[in-house]
Structures are given as structure tokens and as C-alpha cells.
């Protein structure tokens, strides 16, 4: 794969063959050396073949191979003449992260971490097929929930108005069509509101151990040694089934629209087609389910803190800083070639990172830019970033979403044989509660890149800026 260096942190795959635009990868020289023979680069080039794509097919520094699109992939596609591709959103629709601040300092909880971890683990169901946080809803109730999103949680006592104000899209993506979600998908998800799931999903207790931008950190409510909570989860079985349903439908419909692509996993149809509109309605419904799911988990986590520590709401100060999604397609206006155009931005393992002044941001954050949360592995650290103006010019307002895997789950489990991973993490100061040792092995720290290197690339490229670093001390996993 031919790569041209644009600058020290940006590389380009020239437009060639069926590519309609070049591909661009944000990475440093060491990362690029490791990527040269990686199939994820071929996926960047394949995405550049999607009808209607504008600008560039982009990849963030946490790039790794995914279904159709690489994870870490971004594509902006003309809203009228382009296509929608479920592979550009992913199976876990609106997988995302929310960051919660507290009034607690780490010394306040240091001697009670085990008790706090046990209570959280008992309160928030986690693992494959986990259910039970809320009694199972009927299909009709589910149809209402997927339209309302996090507003359902507000109506039922699991959210405050401030929570919604600090959630991307207000916790409700417009255009959700409950009739475009299958009954099978509803049945998979109807007992899973308020559940964590498995894989790389987690609830992490951290302390703020470094502040890079004191003014921005203070505006977000972050202080040194403060206890924070990261929740990383998505749309569970409902989102997975919805993606599966539409990949099959759209794959069969491509011939009707005479669309040919270099990879069948990129299955796509025109945005304006009946199939495209049906997928968008179902995708928005699954996204709203995910926002509601994370909101309910936040409420349950706050309850667990109060129970474990014997504190009240005012002393705890449990409040949402922001909630971001990183598996979604959204209609946004961007300046392309000197003209504003409406595009459908596919972000697959990539986070929206709008710069200061963007009207899509809540008024309380607008002057700062969008908060961007980048979880690392459970043994090191995570980062709080802020979107910069260059993101709007260079990446369609997008940044990375995590550390990025360097070992497959199978390889990680193989390397973990015979090791006491819980003891290794305790030696790093991290208490883990998980449904299975296999789940911990799949997510062992060595399975991931050093997230500090990933965020340094985005900062050096002028896309996002580091605000604070969070050091985990307890992790709940499925």
C-alpha cells in the first residue's frame, strides 16, 4: 500500500483504481511502520470507493481491522447523492462513553474500594446476555423507549434534565422509526436496559491524576485526585440484531441500485432509497436505546455509591460531564471545497470532536469545544480531550475513540494462560470485578496500544487537546 507523508502525523493513500477520494491515516512514524501490511489500510482504501464520499476516507490512530470499515474509520458522504453503509456504523450501534464527576477525592474511598466495587458489580448486570436491571419491557413499551431515548429515563425517574443537556444529541437522535426494528431485536433488548454487556465494555472508577489544561478542566468540573466514573457500553442485543438485519437486507438490495464495491462487508444503498431510509430509522432507534441504557446505568451507579459509602446525593455530587457516541452515522453540515454541504458522517470507532462555538454543543460547553473521552486499557489511564477548530477543517469534527487493539481476543487469551491477571492488575492499583476470567484475559492491558501515544497524535495534528488524565483504581467488566 503506497503511503505519502503529509506531515509527521498524517499519511495519505493516493486516489487510485476505484477510489473516489484519497485515504488519510492519522499516525506517527512508528505506528505507520506497524500498519504497512495491515489489512485495515486496505479497508481505508475500500471505504474511499463508496458512492458520494467527499474529501477523504479517514482513519484515526487507534485504527484496527473491523467489519467493512476499519475501526477508527470516518467517512462523510453526500446526503443527497451518496450511500449509507451499516459497516460504517458497526454492530454495536451508538457504543459510547460517558464521564461522571463526583465530589469525592481518592483518599475518601481508598480504604473502601473493594466494598464499592462489590456493590457496583451487584447493582449493574454485566456479561454476555446480562439482564435484569429493569424488569423486562413489552415490545410496545420498547417502541416508545427507542423513540424517546434518554428522555424515557427522565420520564421514569432515571435521569435529570441536566443529564440530557450534557448528552450528545440530548440523548435522542431524531428520525427513529420503531416500526423498522424487528420484533426479534426488541426481544433481544427488552430486558437489557441498564446492563453493561461484555467484550470491551466496562464501568471504570478513576481518579484525576494529571491536569493539562486547568482552565478547561475547571470548566468541566474536574480537579486533581477527584473520583470519576467512566461508563462504556452500547445498544446491546437490540443494536447487534438491527445491524445484522440490515446488513442482510442492504446486501441483497445493492444489485437493484447497480452498486459494486470491493468488499461485500461495505454493503451500501442510496441514503434516499427506501432501504436506506429504513436503516436510518432503525439505527436511530438503536442509538436511542444505547443512550437510555447508559443513562440508567449512571443512575444505578450513583445509587451504588451512596449505598456502599453511606453518603447522600449532595455529598456525592454525582453529575454527568458529557456522553459521547462512537459508532453512529449523523447528518451534519461541513465546509467542503469552500462550500457548506450536508453530509452523512459515518463514525465507526471514532468520536465527534466539534470545536468551540458549534451550536450542536450545549450552551455550558459551547465556548470550550466538545469533550472527548478516550478510554485506555484497564491497567494504565484514560484521557479527557477537547475538540479544536482544526477538527472541523480536517476530520469532519472527528477524533479517535480508544487505545486500539494490538492483539486479537484469541491471542490475548492464549498469552494469559497460567497468569494471575487479577493479581497483576492489583499490583497496578486496579481492583477488578468480572463475570469471567476469560473476559479479563481478552481485555488484558497488553492487548491494547498505549492510549497516551494515540491521543498525542491527535493533539500534535491539532485535532484535539488533552485536558486531563484519569487513572483507574476499580473496573467492572462482563
Among 381, 286, 225, CA closest to 91: 286
Q: How many CA atoms lie within 13 A of 257 on its CB side?
A: 23
d(CA 250, CA 68): 13
Given 64, 166, 299, 401, the catalytic residue: 401
Among 66, 266, 38, 454, CA closest to 13: 38
State CA 286 to chain mean position distance.
Answer: 14
Are 377 and 452 in contact by the 8 Å Cβ rule? The answer is no
Whole-number Cα distances in Å, 460 to 174, 390, 415, 456: 35, 11, 33, 6
CB atoms within 10 A of CB 452: 15
298-333 burial: b if 16+ Cβ within 10 Å, else e: bbbbbbbbbebbebeeeebbbbbbbbbbbbbbbebe
End-to-end CA gap in the chain: 38
Phi, psi (rounded to 5 degrees) for 357? 85, -5
Active site residue 326: no
Among 316, 288, 314, CA closest to 302: 316
Phi, psi (rounded to 5 degrees) for 319? -140, 145
d(CA 391, CA 345): 13
| Catalytic center residues | 401
Amino acid at each position: 500500500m503506497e503511503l505519502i507523508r503529509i506531515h509527521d502525523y498524517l499519511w495519505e493513500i493516493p486516489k487510485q483504481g476505484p477510489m473516489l477520494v484519497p485515504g488519510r491515516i492519522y499516525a506517527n512514524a512508528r505506528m505507520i511502520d506497524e500498519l504497512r501490511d495491515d489489512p485495515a489500510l486496505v479497508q481505508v482504501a475500500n471505504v474511499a470507493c463508496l458512492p458520494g464520499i467527499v474529501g477523504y476516507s479517514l482513519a484515526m490512530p487507534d485504527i484496527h481491522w473491523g467489519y467493512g470499515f476499519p475501526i477508527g474509520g470516518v467517512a462523510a458522504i453526500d446526503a443527497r447523492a451518496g450511500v449509507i453503509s451499516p459497516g460504517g456504523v458497526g454492530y454495536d450501534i451508538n457504543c459510547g462513553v460517558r464521564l461522571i464527576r463526583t465530589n469525592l477525592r481518592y483518599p475518601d474511598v481508598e480504604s473502601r474500594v473493594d466494598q464499592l466495587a462489590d456493590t457496583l458489580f451487584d447493582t449493574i448486570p454485566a456479561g454476555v446476555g446480562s439482564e435484569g436491571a429493569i424488569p423486562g419491557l413489552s415490545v410496545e413499551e420498547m417502541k416508545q423507549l427507542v423513540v424517546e431515548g434518554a428522555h424515557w429515563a427522565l420520564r421514569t425517574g432515571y435521569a435529570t434534565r441536566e443529564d440530557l443537556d450534557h448528552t450528545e444529541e440530548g440523548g435522542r437522535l431524531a428520525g427513529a422509526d420503531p416500526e423498522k426494528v424487528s420484533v426479534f431485536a426488541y426481544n433481544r433488548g427488552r430486558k437489557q436496559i441498564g446492563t453493561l454487556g461484555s467484550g470491551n465494555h466496562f464501568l471504570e472508577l478513576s481518579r484525576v491524576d494529571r491536569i493539562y489544561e486547568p482552565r478547561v478542566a475547571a470548566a468541566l468540573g474536574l480537579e486533581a485526585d477527584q473520583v470519576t466514573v467512566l461508563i462504556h457500553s452500547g445498544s446491546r442485543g437490540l443494536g447487534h440484531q438491527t445491524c445484522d438485519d440490515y446488513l442482510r437486507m442492504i446486501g441483497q438490495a445493492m444489485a437493484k441500485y447497480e452498486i459494486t464495491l470491493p468488499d461485500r462487508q461495505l454493503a451500501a444503498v442510496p441514503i434516499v432509497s427506501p432501504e436506506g431510509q429504513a436503516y436510518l430509522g432503525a439505527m436511530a432507534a438503536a442509538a436511542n436505546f444505547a443512550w437510555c441504557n447508559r443513562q440508567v446505568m449512571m443512575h444505578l451507579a450513583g445509587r451504588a455509591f451512596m449505598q456502599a459509602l453511606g453518603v447522600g446525593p449532595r455529598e456525592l455530587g454525582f453529575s454527568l460531564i458529557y456522553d459521547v457516541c462512537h459508532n453512529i452515522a449523523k447528518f451534519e453540515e461541513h465546509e467542503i471545497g469552500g462550500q457548506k454541504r450536508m453530509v452523512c458522517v459515518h463514525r465507526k470507532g471514532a468520536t465527534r470532536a466539534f470545536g468551540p462555538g458549534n451550536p450542536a454543543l450545549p450552551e455550558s460547553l459551547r465556548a470550550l469545544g466538545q469533550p472527548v473521552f478516550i478510554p485506555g486499557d484497564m491497567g494504565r489511564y484514560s484521557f479527557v480531550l477537547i475538540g479544536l477548530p482544526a477538527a472541523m477543517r480536517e476530520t469532519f469534527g472527528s477524533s479517535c475513540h480508544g487505545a486500539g487493539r494490538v492483539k486479537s481476543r484469541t491471542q490475548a487469551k492464549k498469552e494469559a494462560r497460567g497468569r494471575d491477571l487479577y493479581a497483576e492488575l492489583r499490583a497496578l492499583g486496579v481492583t477488578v470485578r468480572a463475570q469471567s476470567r476469560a473476559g479479563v484475559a481478552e481485555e488484558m492491558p497488553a492487548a491494547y496500544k498505549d492510549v497516551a501515544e494515540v491521543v498525542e497524535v491527535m493533539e500534535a495534528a491539532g485535532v484535539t487537546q488533552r485536558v486531563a488524565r484519569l487513572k483507574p483504581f476499580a473496573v467492572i467488566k462482563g
